[in-house]
């Protein structure tokens, strides 16, 4: 069996038991990268030399008789907004071109401790703002299922790398759907953990109250493995929860019988592709056959989620991105004659149009005299959205919805229409606004052979339950596999 076909769990077991060397595993993946990357362009930076060294170190550790970690020799791709010490971290933005991370993100530190091998940094929509990875300042990433189409975004590079089997695991970040939507487009598993379950320390902030790092994998078991490594309290992030990943993953094993599944009527609406809706309902039917109880429910404030999100997220972004000022690191404009010119020249040249649009939106929403009408009101809407979920989770255990209204769209299809692009996150945004847990798993292919994503949403720290339901579907009918 080709090593790139293996799951992370299988690789870690084989490497830890000495059946397979980490170096062989890494080599196989870089071979695959060399074959596919020219077409896919998932990576902003490839770390072949570093990865081979790390893999050799893992093998040496085993040779010394030391116990290997849970990710022993597993190749992992990192979205290029997560810091890996000493390695260039760009957020796919010109403003950070050449910036070398001064420290490891907490998630990276934890993966290093479990003997993971980092193979590269993946492309994203600049500063994670977008739903197609077309907003990368460097290049577009193609969807491995159809290279004329987008991989989704903003974690498009990570989703494409895992789908194309260039890595069994990758990390992304999800602020309004940036893990789940590309997972759906690329036919892989993408998990957005509960807000606070995974430390944000070392994740370049887009919208701090919404951002969460989460795993991409090709199986639910692999996603659970990576979450168990990266999750848990971090003293460097005071918004991180005291809950352990073990607590969140309780309920991973067990029956589907009696699981209460809600179908929120606000998520089955005009504008959603019929094929997508059909595949989602078929998956729900499968769960029903396994003993789940299905009922119709309502989240009445859902229609306000996108609007309020586009106040909260840009507001926080306008502040978070202000530090890229050309003074201490990144792009700068030394020819400028005054301080104002430094700022204007740096930020004018460094940020792309979508980032500028959101900075302006956020700056306006926070400005004196408008704060209450915009930011204040959006936060109140957010409370109502969270309350909807609280209410509905008294009736059901999980919600089943489409991850996105459509399968992957073509390059250029929506890039000039920001509103149409924003609506591709209509089903994923509410979960960020409420801070609960959600996952996207493949649930079929369209007639054109494009993956369709099913989203399961659960209460905070219900990752175990979500993965149990996802795993049951995976067992019932294996996830579609990319040929070639």
Partner 1 sequence: MVVGLEVHCQLGTRTKLFCGCANDGFGMTANSRICPVCTGQPGVLPVLNKRAVELAFQAALALDCKLAATSIFARKNYFYPDLPKAYQISQYEEPFSQHGGLDTKLPDGSRKRVRIHRIHLEEDAGKLLHEIGSEELDYSLVDFNRSSVPLIEIVTEPDIRSSDEAYAYLTALKEVLQFVGVSRCDMEKGEMRCDANVSVMLAGSTKFGTRAEIKNVNSFKNVKDALEYEYRRQIEIIESGGTIKQETRLWDAVNMRTESMRSKEEAHDYRYFPDPDLVPLHADPVWVAKLKAALPELPEARRLRLASTFALSAYDAEVLTSEKTLSAYFDEAMSGRPKEFAKPLANLITTELLGRLNKEGKSIAESPVTPKMMASLVELTLNNTISSKGAKEVFAKAFETREDPKVLVEKLGLSQVLDEGQVKGWVSEALAANPQAAADLKSGKEAAAGRIVGAVMKLSKGKANPALVNKLIKEAVK
Positions touching partner 1 (CB under 8 A) are: 81-83, 89, 91, 96, 99, 101-103, 105, 200-205, 207-209, 235-239, 315-316, 318-319, 322-323, 325, 327-329, 339, 343, 363, 366-368, 371, 375
Asked if residues 125 and 154 have their Cβ atoms less than 8 Å apart, the reply is yes
21 catalytically annotated: no
Report the 10 Å Cβ neighbour count for 376: 12
Measure the CA–CA gap between 320 and 312, rounded to whole angstroms: 12
Work out how close the CB of 443 gets to partner 1 at its nearest, in angstroms, rounded to a whole number: 34
Work out how close the CB of 117 gets to partner 1 at its nearest, in angstroms, rounded to a whole number: 22
- Of 393 and 461, the one with the shorter C-beta distance to partner 1 is 461
- Of 3 and 200, the one with the shorter C-beta distance to partner 1 is 200
Catalytic choice (21, 41, 79, 121): 79
154 catalytically annotated: yes
- Of 58 and 96, the one with the shorter C-beta distance to partner 1 is 96
- Of 236 and 481, the one with the shorter C-beta distance to partner 1 is 236
Map tokens 């179908």 to a residue.
263
289 catalytically annotated: no
Asked if residues 198 and 435 have their Cβ atoms less than 8 Å apart, the reply is no
Work out how close the CB of 79 gets to partner 1 at its nearest, in angstroms, rounded to a whole number: 12
Map tokens 């999800």 to a residue.
174
Asked if residues 92 and 124 have their Cβ atoms less than 8 Å apart, the reply is yes
Beta pairing, strands 43-46 & 75-79? unpaired
Can you say how many angstroms the Cα of residue 248 is from the centroid of all Cα atoms in its chain?
18
Work out how close the CB of 391 gets to partner 1 at its nearest, in angstroms, rounded to a whole number: 25
Asked if residues 122 and 44 have their Cβ atoms less than 8 Å apart, the reply is yes
- Of 89 and 143, the one with the shorter C-beta distance to partner 1 is 89
Work out how close the CB of 5 gets to partner 1 at its nearest, in angstroms, rounded to a whole number: 34
Bond from prior residue into 158 cis (ω within 30 degrees of 0): no
Map tokens 């970690």 to a residue.
69
- Of 30 and 375, the one with the shorter C-beta distance to partner 1 is 375
- Of 371 and 420, the one with the shorter C-beta distance to partner 1 is 371
Catalytic choice (92, 132, 173, 178): 178
Catalytic choice (93, 154, 318, 462): 154
- Of 238 and 483, the one with the shorter C-beta distance to partner 1 is 238
Work out how close the CB of 112 gets to partner 1 at its nearest, in angstroms, rounded to a whole number: 16
Work out how close the CB of 230 gets to partner 1 at its nearest, in angstroms, rounded to a whole number: 15
Work out how close the CB of 114 gets to partner 1 at its nearest, in angstroms, rounded to a whole number: 21
**What amino acid positions are annotated as catalytic residues?**
79, 154, 178
């Amino acid at each position: 069996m080709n090593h790139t076909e293996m799951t992370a769990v299988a690789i870690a077991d084989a490497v830890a038991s000495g059946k397979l060397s980490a170096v062989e595993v890494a080599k196989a993946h870089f071979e695959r990268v060399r074959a596919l990357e020219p077409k896919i362009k998932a990576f902003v930076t490839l770390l072949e030399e570093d990865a081979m060294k790390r893999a050799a170190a893992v093998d040496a550790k085993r040779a010394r008789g030391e116990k290997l970690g849970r990710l022993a020799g597993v190749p992992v791709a990192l979205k290029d907004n997560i810091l890996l010490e000493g390695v260039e971290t760009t957020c796919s933005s010109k403003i950070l071109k050449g910036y070398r991370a001064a420290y490891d993100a907490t998630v990276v530190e934890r993966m290093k401790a479990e003997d993971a091998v980092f193979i590269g940094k993946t492309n994203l929509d600049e500063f994670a703002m977008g739903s197609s990875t077309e907003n990368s300042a460097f290049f577009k990433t193609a969807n491995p299922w159809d290279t004329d189409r987008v991989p989704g975004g903003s974690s498009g590079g990570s989703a494409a790398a895992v789908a194309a089997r260039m890595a069994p695991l990758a990390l992304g970040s999800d602020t309004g759907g940036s893990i789940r939507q590309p997972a759906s487009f690329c036919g892989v598993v993408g998990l957005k953990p509960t807000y606070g379950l995974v430390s944000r320390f070392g994740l370049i902030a887009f919208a701090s109250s919404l951002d969460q790092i989460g795993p991409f994998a090709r199986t639910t078991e692999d996603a659970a493995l990576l979450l168990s490594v990266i999750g848990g309290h971090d003293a460097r992030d005071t918004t991180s929860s005291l809950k352990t990943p073990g607590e969140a993953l309780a309920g991973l094993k067990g029956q589907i019988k009696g699981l209460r599944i809600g179908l929120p009527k606000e998520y089955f609406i005009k504008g959603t592709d019929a094929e997508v809706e059909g595949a989602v309902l078929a998956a729900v039917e499968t769960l029903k056959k396994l003993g789940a109880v299905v009922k119709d429910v309502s989240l009445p404030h859902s229609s306000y989620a996108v609007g309020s999100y586009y106040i909260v997220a840009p507001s926080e972004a306008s502040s978070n991105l202000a530090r890229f000022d050309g003074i201490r690191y990144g792009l700068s404009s030394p020819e400028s004659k005054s301080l104002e010119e430094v700022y204007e020249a740096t930020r004018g040249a460094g940020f792309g149009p979508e980032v500028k649009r959101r900075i302006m939106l956020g700056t306006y929403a926070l400005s004196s005299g408008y704060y209450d009408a915009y930011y204040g009101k959006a936060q109140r809407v957010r409370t109502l959205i969270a309350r909807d979920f609280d209410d509905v989770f008294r009736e059901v255990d999980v919600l089943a919805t489409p991850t996105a209204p459509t399968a992957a769209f073509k390059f250029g299809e929506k890039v000039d229409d920001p509103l149409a692009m924003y609506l591709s996150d209509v089903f994923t945004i509410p979960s960020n606004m409420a801070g609960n847990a959600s996952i996207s798993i493949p649930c079929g292919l369209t007639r054109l052979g494009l993956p369709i994503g099913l989203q399961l949403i659960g209460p905070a720290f219900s990752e175990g339950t979500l993965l149990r339901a996802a795993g049951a579907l995976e067992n019932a009918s294996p996830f579609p596999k990319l040929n070639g």
